[in-house]
């Protein structure tokens, strides 16, 4: 029997932030700033979520002159479903995975 691991509080924060952007693409750097997390935390989470099919990735097609293209991220359908499930469990009063261990902007 495979036991599902609870997402870390940081992973929940990343999923929630991506869910708030809807279908729009965002940069990892923007997520780092918005969540107050370091790149060494956010990018491994994004990579793991992408490997699990919960996040879609793409390269910028038209970066500003003088800057290399950056990776873009957004939730896949599976990731959006996971984010909804986590939000619903938080609203139902059930402790969400990792509740009270992380508040965006305090890490």
What's 85's domain CATH number?
1.10.10.10
Longest dimension (CA), the chain: 52
For residue 42, tell me if it sits in a domain: yes
For residue 96, tell me if it sits in a domain: no
% of the chain exceeding 90 in pLDDT:
65
For residue 106, tell me if it sits in a domain: no
For residue 4, tell me if it sits in a domain: no
C-beta of residue 53 within 8 angstroms of C-beta of residue 76:
yes
pLDDT attached to residue 3: 62
- Can you tell me the distance from the alpha carbon of 92 to that of 70, in angstroms, rounded to the nearest whole number? 38
Find all residues with CB under 8 Å of 78, minimum gap 6, and list them: 52, 53, 54
For residue 102, tell me if it sits in a domain: no
Place of tokens 């038209």: 62
For residue 2, tell me if it sits in a domain: no
Cα–Cα distances in angstroms (integers) from residue 83 to residues 28, 63, 76, 89, in the given order = 18, 29, 10, 10
Q: Is the pLDDT of residue 99 over 50?
A: no
Domain count across the chain:
1
For residue 104, tell me if it sits in a domain: no
pLDDT digits (tens, 9 = 90+) for 57-78: 999 998 889 999 999 999 999 9
For residue 13, tell me if it sits in a domain: yes
Residue 6: which of 85, 75, 76 has the closest Cα? 85
Structural domain boundaries, residue 55: 9-90
């Amino acid at each position: 029997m495979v036991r599902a691991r609870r997402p870390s509080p940081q992973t929940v924060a990343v999923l929630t932030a991506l869910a708030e952007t809807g279908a729009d693409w965002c940069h990892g750097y923007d997520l780092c700033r918005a969540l107050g997390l370091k790149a060494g935390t956010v990018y491994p989470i994004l990579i793991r979520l992408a490997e699990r099919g919960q996040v879609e990735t793409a390269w910028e097609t038209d970066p500003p002159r003088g800057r290399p293209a950056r990776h873009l991220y957004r939730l896949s359908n599976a990731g959006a479903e996971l984010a909804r499930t986590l939000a619903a469990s938080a609203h139902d009063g059930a402790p969400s995975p990792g509740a009270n261990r992380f508040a965006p902007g305090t890490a």
